[in-house]
Amino acid sequence: MKLTKGHLLTSDSMLTTGQAAKMLAVHITTVIDWFDRGLLTGPLTQGGHRRMRAADLVTFLVTRKMPMPAELESVSRRRLLLISSNEGDLRAAQQSIQKFADHAILEIAGNAIDGLLAVGHFQPHIILLDVIMPGLDSVEVCRRLRANPATKTVNIMLVAAHLTDQLESDARKAGVDYCRKKPIDFAEVMKLLGVENNEE
């Protein structure tokens, strides 16, 4: 895979030793040595070339407290997808997420169809789903996500201004992991994703 400006790496993006070396500003033999010592792992191609998942390279860097290159920010930061047609909620979310800018990327979709399309290219760690949307019902969106092998395990949080017992029951039957009242508590969302905000 050739990395180009604006290309968004995902956790499962496969990197060559040359690409990793260029990102980290080290010689390719250094990356190969990490493989030989078992510090990095990954599959071999039929031609015997080493490959690594971007997520595994991020883990390697984090555990050794090494600098994170800009190309890997999309992998190292948690990806949140907010699907909502409420402009007020969207503005509030963009403001609230700023305190987690070093740890999170927020993608916004204004309707269910755009949201389902965004899931494919953005590969979020969690989907924040507004209960009220034009077009597809939010519970149906959950069912579609759970029916797709690529998204059946993604975290889904349903958010509603008025969260009733019946709504929560229907949502959980459809595969929702969390049900919360608005406004969205992004500190809680980040904790669910394993990120603490130490600046508060």
- Residues 63 and 108 placed together within one structural domain of the fold: no
Domain boundary among 74, 95, 110: 74
What's the pLDDT band for 7 if we cut at 50, 70, 90? low
Residue 4 has pLDDT above 50, yes or no: no
Residue 34 has pLDDT above 80, yes or no: yes
User: What pLDDT digit, counting tens, does each position of 128-166 carry?
Assistant: 999 888 778 888 999 999 999 888 999 999 999 999 999
CATH code where residue 65 lies: 1.10.1660.10
Residue 2 covered by a domain? no
- Residues 63 and 93 placed together within one structural domain of the fold: no
Q: Does the reported pTM lie above 0.75?
A: no
- Tokens (6 digits) for 123: 């590969």
pLDDT for the residue 5: 38
Burial pattern 131-154, b for ≥16 Cβ within 10 A else e, equals bebeebebbebbeebbeeeebeeb
Q: What is the amino acid identity at position 40?
A: L
- Residues 85 and 69 placed together within one structural domain of the fold: no
Residue 107 lies in domain: 77-192
Domain boundary among 74, 107, 126: 74
- Residues 138 and 51 placed together within one structural domain of the fold: no
- Residues 70 and 82 placed together within one structural domain of the fold: no
User: What pLDDT digit, counting tens, does each position of 92-126 carry?
Assistant: 999 999 888 878 889 999 999 999 998 987 888 89
Give the least confident one: 33-37, 65-69, 87-91: 65-69
| Number of domains the chain contains | 2
Identify the CA nearest to 106 among candidates 186, 3, 6, 12. Answer: 186
- Residues 59 and 151 placed together within one structural domain of the fold: no
- Residues 64 and 39 placed together within one structural domain of the fold: yes
What's the pLDDT band for 200 if we cut at 50, 70, 90? very low
